[in-house]
Chains A and B, each alone.
Chain A
Amino acid sequence: MVFLTLSCWIRNRGPDRFWKVQELLKHARHFRGRKNRCYKLALLAVRRAFVYATKGRKLKKRNMRTLWITRIAAATREHNMKYPILVHNLNKCSVQLNRRVISDIAITEPRTFLSLAKLARARQQEGFQAALGDGKEPPGVLSRVMLQ
């Protein structure tokens, strides 16, 4: 007698479940607890980790910029000036150094940073002088300044 239905009952579910599971678990091997061994828990933890990494890459840019600004502000205050004054006057002098480089200079090249601060201060004084002017009105204009 030949039994044929027994072999029809065996299903081949797919040969590579092991490797698909390992692909996920390899991202979880350094986690703590059962998340590094059990597939269901690892799935949730790995998904969360990837989403946090994606969001963190955007936040890193913002945080680094605020860090640079804080460092530049601290360095300018050592030279009796404030951060917005420095940045505004450097822009007016058309010096296009970005904040990362200015913070690096403030840390590793203090003399160069001092020269930048002095440049900004000089440009600020020039701006004040230009705004105050001679104390005279342009010709053909009558005002209180002339009558005084």
Chain B
Amino acid sequence: MTVSTRFGYLQSLFAALWRTNGVRVPLHPLLSLCAARTQSSVSGDPLPRTSLSRPPWSEQTSFVSAEEERSRHAAVVSSVNDRIERRDFGRLFAVVHFAARQWKVTDEDLILVENHIEAECGDRIYLEKVLLVGAEDFTLVGRPLLGKELVRVKATVIEKTESCPKMHMVFWKRHRFQKKRTIVQPQTVLRINSIELHPRLS
């Protein structure tokens, strides 16, 4: 009899606490009073430490003050400027955005573009959307593009053809459904003649 009344009292107590959102609902109200458990987040580890719980490299980063960062940046910029003025770099490569695709391009490269270009065979073209230019010792990364007075990529249209005929076929079995057509894409071949850097970096 006493047990039943105590159980009823605890039930009403927990119901009041649940309504005030102060308490996680325990599995059994009698057991939660007996087992006083502290939360494991007090120690601070969200995951158990295993061989794969953290990457094999250390995550420490050294703090660099703003003045030192500015001086290092100025040193890097001046050295790259010197290199460009002395024309000390060898072969340049560039990442160019052309015909909805990005191409990593050097001198004497051939590019096959799968669409029609409004230029005749033998026309010389400037590829103006340059995203990145690199040499052996330095790289210029555009955010997102590099300026037109900084880099110039020259190309020539060599060939304008059509692709080999590709078969596009759909077939559903047991439904008497099939469609077949031939796809022929116009293609253009470009030859990259040269990539030029001009010494005017900020």
Q: With an 8 A cutoff between CB atoms, is A12 at the interface? A: no
Contact B167 A53 (CB under 8 A): yes
Q: Does A137 contact B (CB under 8 A)?
A: no
Spot the interface stretch: A1-9, A28-36, A96-104.
Answer: A96-104
CB distance from A46 to the nearest CB of B (A): 9
**Binary contact readout B152-193 vs A (1 if CB under 8 angstroms, 0 otherwise):** 000000000000001111110000001010000000000000
Give per-residue flags for B127-159: 1 if the beta carbon is below 8 A from chain A beta carbons, else 0.
000011010110101111000000000000000
- A64 within 8 Å of B (CB atoms): no
B72-113 interface code vs A (CB 8 A; 1 in, 0 out): 000000000000000000000101000000111000000000
- Closest chain-A Cβ to B58's Cβ sits at a distance in Å of 8
Task: Please determine whether A54 and B169 come into contact, CB atoms closer than 8 angstroms.
Answer: yes
Per the 8 Å Cβ criterion, residues 34-87 of A in contact with B are: 47-48, 50-51, 53-54, 57, 77, 80, 82
Interface of A is mostly: helix
Q: Which residues of A contact B8 (CB under 8 A)?
A: none
Interface residues on B, range: 20 to 34
Give 5 closest A-B pairs by Cβ, nearest first.
Answer: A50-B169, A80-B57, A96-B144, A50-B167, A112-B139
Contact residue among A47, A51, A97 (Cβ-Cβ distance under 8 Å from B95): A97
B170 — which chain A residues lie within 8 A by C-beta?
51, 54
Partner among A47, A50, A108, A119 whose Cβ is within 8 Å of the Cβ of B141:
A119
CB pair A100 B102 closer than 8 Å: yes
Q: A96 contacts which of B131, B134, B136, B137 (Cβ < 8 Å)?
A: B131
The residues of B that contact A51 with a CB separation of less than 8 Å are: 169-171
Residue from B132, B137, B143 having most chain A Cβ neighbours under 10 A: B132
